[in-house]
Amino acid sequence: MNEHKIRQFLVAAAVSSLSILSTSMVNAQSLDEVLGVRATTTQDGRKSQTKIDEITEDTRDLLSQYKTVMKVVDGLQIYNKQQERLIAKQETEMLELNASIDQVTVIERQIGPLIERMITNLEKYVELDTPFLIAERRSRIAFLKETLDRPDVTVAEKFSQVLQAYQLENSYGSTIEAYSDVIDLDGKSRQVDMLKWGRVSLVFQTPDGEITGVWDTNADAWAILPDEFRAGVQDGIRIARKTQTVDLVKLPVPAPGE
pTM above 0.95, yes or no: no
When mean pLDDT is compared across 31-45, 79-93, 170-184, 194-208, the lowest value belongs to: 31-45
> For residues 213 and 185, is the Cβ–Cβ distance under 8 A?
yes
Cα(109)–Cα(96) distance, integer angstroms = 20
> For residues 194 and 205, is the Cβ–Cβ distance under 8 A?
no
pLDDT score of 76? 84
Residue 9 has pLDDT above 70, yes or no: no
The per-residue b/e assignment along 8-44, b for 16 or more CB within 10 angstroms, e otherwise, is: eeeeeeeeeeeeeeeeeeeeeeeeeeeeeeeeeeeee
Summarize pLDDT for 241-256 with one digit per residue, the tens.
Answer: 999 998 899 999 876 6
DSSP 219-241: TTEEEEPPGGGHHHHHHHHHHHT
Summarize pLDDT for 83-103 with one digit per residue, the tens.
Answer: 888 898 888 888 888 877 777
